[in-house]
Amino acid sequence: MICTGTSDRQLDAIVERIRTNIKQKHDITAWHVEGDGRSGWTLLDYNSVVVHVFSEELRTYYDLESVWKGARVLLRIQ
């Protein structure tokens, strides 16, 4: 999963909401978490699902969509 926030504070809020909701609804915690809002990229590793929360600048720079262009898109929200 790849998503974008527009500020450090929003990036941290997105990550916290994802972690909280997955824990509450599925009793699953991330196997590994790396980065934070200040770095512009946080990775949440749930084994079979990896969540990338990017700043706009770093999402464009790393362009993971082109790396995974053959993967099926499950949901796109603009």
Any domain includes 25: yes
Distance (Å, whole) CA 46 – CA 77? 21
Any domain includes 55: yes
Any domain includes 44: yes
| Per-residue pLDDT, 78 | 73
65-to-22, 52, 61 alpha-carbon distances in Å: 24, 11, 11
| Per-residue pLDDT, 76 | 81
Any domain includes 23: yes
Domain holding 54, by residue range, is 2-67
Q: List pLDDT tens digits, range 8-32.
A: 999 999 999 999 999 999 999 999 9
Any domain includes 47: yes
Query: Which CATH number fits the domain that encloses residue 20?
Result: 3.30.460.10
| Per-residue pLDDT, 69 | 86
How many distinct structural domains can be found in the chain? 1
Q: How confident is the model at residue 71 (pLDDT cuts 50, 70, 90)?
A: confident
Which pTM value belongs to this model? 0.87
pLDDT above 80 (res 64):
yes
Any domain includes 37: yes
